[in-house]
Structure formats: C-alpha cells, structure tokens
Amino acid sequence: MESAWKKARATLEEEGWKFEAFDRSLSWPFTAKPVTISKVRGTLYGVAVGDALGAASEGRLPRELVERPVERPLPHHGLPAGTVTDDTQLTLALAESILQTGTLDPEDLVQRFVALAPSLVGAGWATRQALERLGRGAAWWLAGSASAGNGAAMRAAPVGLFFEAPDAIRKAAFLQAIVTHRDRTAVAGAIIHALWVGWLARGGPADARVLDWLVEAVRGFEKPFPSRRQRRKKRTLAGLLLEAGAYADDPASACERFGTGAFVLESLPTAAAVFLGRPGDPEAVYLRLVNAGGDTDTMAALAGAWLGAHLGDRKLRSRTPSDWWQVSVAAEIERISRLGTS
C-alpha cells in the first residue's frame, strides 16, 4: 500500500492537493476492542439490507413516498426484491480484494471493479465512466472522474473493518476512492465513512462525539464548494458533518438542510444525522432514509454500515423485520465474514 500511496500523493500534490491532514497522526480516543465476526457480518448485512430496501425508492419524490412509503424490499430495476445494487456489489468486491491481497492494492481492486462493471445495478455516472477508462487500460491514479458524488464513500466500509490503525484506514480509504473519484470531497467522504465504521466496530460511542474526530482526520484536505443558497459562502463535507449532530433529533430538518442527492455533501450528512438520532433503532433509521427521496439506497447503505458496526449482526437482525434479510448476497457475506475474522 505504501508505494501506491506515495505514487498517488506525489501526482496529486503536483495538481495542488493538500495532504497535511495525513501527516497528523490519528489514534482511537477510546480503548479499541478487536473487531468480531458479529461486527463484520453486521456491517456487511447493514449495507446490503439498506441498499436492497432503498433500491425501490431511489429517485422517487418525497411526497409520493409519504403517500406510499417503502416498508419492505420491493422489486427494482426489473430484478426481484432483495437484490442489492452497486453500493453492496462494490463493497463486497473491495472486501474480497483487501482480504485476498492482505492490503489495499489499487491494481487488484481495479481488476475486480472492471470485471464487475457489466453486472453493476444502478451505478452512477462517475463510477461508470472511471471503470470504462480503467477497462481501456488507464492508470488507476489518473482514471477517476472529477465528481464529488457519494460513490467512493458508499463502498468504503470494509476498510474500517479490515485495517487496524486509523492512519492505515485513512490511507486505504483514500486509495480505494481515488480509482473512481478524483475529487477531494468524494475522497474525504470515503475516509470519513471508513473511519466511522472502524470506530463503531471497535466499540467507540455511537453518538456525536465522533464528529470532531472525523473532521480532524480530514481537516484542510477538501477544496470548499460554493454554498447552495449563498454563493459566497463556502461549504465542506467536514463543516456540514459538524452540524449533523444538531439535527439528530429532527430528521425531516436534516433532509431539508443537507439534501438527499447523490452529491456526497448531501447524502452523507443526512445519513449521519438520521443515524445519530436513533443508533439503537435500525428499523426507524432505515425507514426514515429510504422514504426521504433522492439517493435512498446509498443513504441507507451508509447508515446501514454504521448500524451494523455498532450493533453487530444479532441485534441488527432482532430489531428489523425478518423479510428485510432476504438479500441476494447472503452467501457471499457469510463467506467474507468468516474469511475476514479467521
């Protein structure tokens, strides 16, 4: 991983990217427990259950969803209920790559992603175009799309499970992101997601105390975006994430404040606020997010990873309807979970 990291860093520094954040060492600010098979399984099922549940409402209007909410997995994209989409497909491919190479090897990861490209369900344009370039032989550190979409974050959960130290999680999350998303905000989203999964899977508190720590991990890395409402005001994912805690008790206002689109500045803070409101009530978190409109499958997959990493698979299962667990990748999740904790 170290040589890939140096290669990417040197190339992007020439383009003006700032890497000082990576030179500040990170450590868990609590006594970290080992990651158990229950936490691995919980995280991977958490992603798959949210993704399959949200897939039927992706892109539907919030008012339509108020009249006819999604309450169970439904058929989507011409596929049976419980079929997962790109969020889970890429998450599992990343997990396999890490477990089989024992590191984060962008070359191996790219091969797996390119092989998966024709069968991806509902992939976003940034990922599709990057995979097309990679399939034609483009170098992994050059091929990524200039997109601040949530595609690099949504698949990053395994990095938080299978790398131990926060510094290693941050680098691996960066490398897995850059192959499809050559954008600082998209990469910051992936780092934040992976670190949060790592925090929860090791027994870190499931409350807003995590936010300052996550923000410190990426401070100074992003290039701020103009605000939606006031063009002169700038916003970063880190800045919005710090606000997410204040919206934890009010999910409707969180959706309103941050938005629900595929832009990582929208979907990640919204998912964060909804998760922080009810971290012990996965059914409520999932239902809120899949009925919020916008990029429902990805918001539910992001929060699903946090729910599963926090609760482990038994509590996640006992606190959600059993028909939600009929996901198309159950056998794969079982196999990866055993491999990941053997």
User: Residue 35 or residue 302: which is nearer to Mg ion going by CB?
Assistant: 302
Q: Which of 57, 87, 188, 290 binds Mg ion (CB under 5 A)?
A: 87
Q: How far is the CB of 218 from Mg ion (least distance, A)?
A: 24
Q: Where are the beta strands (DSSP E) in the chain?
A: 225-226, 234-235
Answer whether 206's CB lies under 8 Å from 279's CB.
Answer: yes
Q: How far is the CB of 123 from Mg ion (least distance, A)?
A: 7
Stretch that binds Mg ion, among 174-182, 184-192, 269-277, 290-298 (CB under 5 A): 290-298
User: Residue 86 or residue 105: which is nearer to Mg ion going by CB?
Assistant: 86
Closest to 91 (Cα-Cα) out of 76, 74, 113, 73: 113
User: Residue 83 or residue 236: which is nearer to Mg ion going by CB?
Assistant: 83
Structure tokens at 18: 């700032």
Q: Which of 105, 222, 266, 297 binds Mg ion (CB under 5 A)?
A: 297
Q: Binding-site residue total for Mg ion (CB under 5 A)?
A: 5
Measured CA to CA, the distance from residue 180 to residue 303 in angstroms comes to 22
User: Residue 43 or residue 85: which is nearer to Mg ion going by CB?
Assistant: 85
Q: Which residues contact 169 (CB under 8 A, 6 or more apart)?
A: 159, 160, 163, 191, 194, 195, 198
User: Residue 121 or residue 143: which is nearer to Mg ion going by CB?
Assistant: 121
Stretch that binds Mg ion, among 117-125, 163-171, 216-224, 242-250 (CB under 5 A): 117-125
DSSP 61-123: -HHHHHHS---S---BTTB-TT---HHHHHHHHHHHHHHHHSS--HHHHHHHHHHHGGG-SS-
Regarding 332 and contact with Mg ion (CB under 5 A), the answer is no
Regarding 86 and contact with Mg ion (CB under 5 A), the answer is yes
Stretch that binds Mg ion, among 23-31, 111-119, 173-181, 289-297 (CB under 5 A): 289-297
The Cα-based distances of 288 to 69, 113, 278, 302 in angstroms read 10, 31, 11, 13
Residues that bind Mg ion (CB under 5 A): 85-87, 122, 297
